A and B are shown apart, each in its own frame.
Chain A
Amino acid sequence: MPASLQEVKRRITSTKKTGQITTAMQMVSTSKLNQIQKHTKTYQVYASKIRNVITHLAASHLLDDVEAPETVEEGEVNSLAMLQQRSVKKTGLVVITSDRGLVGSYNSNVIKQTMNLISKNHHSKDDVEIIAIGGTGADFFKKRGYDIVYEYRELGDVPTFREVRPIVRAILKMFESEKFDELFVCYNHFVNSLTSTFRGEQMLPISAENLGSEGLSDTNDSGYNLEYDTEPSEDAILEVILPQYAESLLYGAMLDAKTSEHASSSTAMRSASDNADDIIAGLELQYNRARQSAITTEITEITGAQAALE
């Protein structure tokens, strides 16, 4: 036990203080997690409504008709463009990360998997446009010379649709103006408060496949196989719904990412607090031993001195 009593004591106090901070941060993250989960639940009502209607329209083979080559006037912004498969010259990637650290492996996971996705699709730097939401991702890709077409920092802890809307609008506009021809969204999907998995999904153009994967399973039990009257026409309705659908998908991805950010922050802080407890226990043992040996030495000295006097 070389450490002096003083030093051990100082380390115990400082570790205790750090532990207090991490415990507080854990509680903050947990409450944010609760909030956002409540919010996500209400959002899902909205999302599933839209998805059901879209699936219904898809089921009536409307999407197939639209996908057939169609003459879109130059310069005219047409929401049906979201359905058109263009030859892919550029790929847009929305990368959702957090602004701050202390979230465990959350950011490194997203970034690593995004790089995998880029290399798997054999894209080089010039084929990719990055839309960075969250500071960590923005800094990472900027440093590596990627082209960042949109950057947004300081997304709220429980983002509202009103806050997200300008971002979503900007992204959709870039797609319409053919800045990129397909859009992937890369984020951490929240599984439960301990695990999250990476998701890199194609979002645009909207195709039968990426509708079908989520939508079709719902169709049978919800009675959406009904025949609808449509007003004014199915095409016109599709034109209203598709942008709304794309907006809601992106918003959903952001909510999901934020949820898993809060979850991993909470987990990281919990393990930090646990570590602090372990360290404190070890240090306290060390402190007591040092104190004991100091006492023993003192006693030996006193008795030694007494023996010498007699």
Chain B
Amino acid sequence: MADKPELTVNVVTPDGSIYEETTDMAICKTTQGELGILPNRLPLLASLAIDEIRVRQDNGEFDEVAVSGGFLEFSDNTLSIVASAAERKEDIDSKRAERARERAQERIEKAKKAHNPDELRRAEVSLRRALNRLSISNR
């Protein structure tokens, strides 16, 4: 693999670095749409959507990491994903996510009744996070 260009993916959260691998391609969902990142790319800054990061393994399969927003920074063949929360597919607690989904839905109902746009927006973000975790862990 010496001749094949590689990049390092590093997912950091306040509770430490949770994922670090080298790969030949990583696929991220930015707020604008999906973005594939290959080695030797120009330095890049982008804001991330609440979605997943997919990192291609040697055998062609993808590692999946759920991220809740944040941003990515790419330079010197190092892709840093800086998010306030992120989990690898294996680490997702689907029961917890399920509960979070229910909670978020309740909050949305309540906020709609109370006509509280701020709260509604926040609840929707929580719901998106929960759904994101669930969809990744159930795949």
Contact residues of B: prevailing secondary structure? strand
Minimal beta-carbon separation of A253 from chain B (angstroms): 13
B60 at the interface (CB under 8 A from A): no
Contact A237 B71 (CB under 8 A): yes
Contact B82 A161 (CB under 8 A): no
B91 at the interface (CB under 8 A from A): no
Q: Which residues of A contact B14 (CB under 8 A)?
A: 43, 46-47, 161, 247-248, 251
- Which chain B residue has the least Cβ–Cβ distance from A224? B75
Contacting residue for A223 out of B47, B70, B76, B82, CB 8 A: B76
**Category for how many chain B residues contact A:** 20 to 34
- Which chain B residue has the least Cβ–Cβ distance from A48? B12
Contact A231 B32 (CB under 8 A): yes
Complex Cα–Cα for A168 and B16 (A): 18
Contact A42 B15 (CB under 8 A): yes
Contact A49 B45 (CB under 8 A): no
Contact A45 B16 (CB under 8 A): yes
Complex Cα–Cα for A155 and B73 (A): 32
Minimal beta-carbon separation of A35 from chain B (angstroms): 13
Q: Which residues of A contact B85 (CB under 8 A)?
A: 161-162
- Residues of A participating in the B interface, judged by any CB pair closer than 8 Å: 39, 42-43, 45-47, 49-50, 53, 77, 160-162, 165, 223-224, 226-232, 234, 236-237, 239-241, 244, 247-248, 251
Q: 13 A-B contacts, Cβ less than 8 Å apart?
A: A42-B15, A46-B16, A161-B13, A161-B15, A224-B75, A228-B45, A229-B42, A229-B44, A230-B44, A232-B31, A232-B46, A236-B31, A244-B84
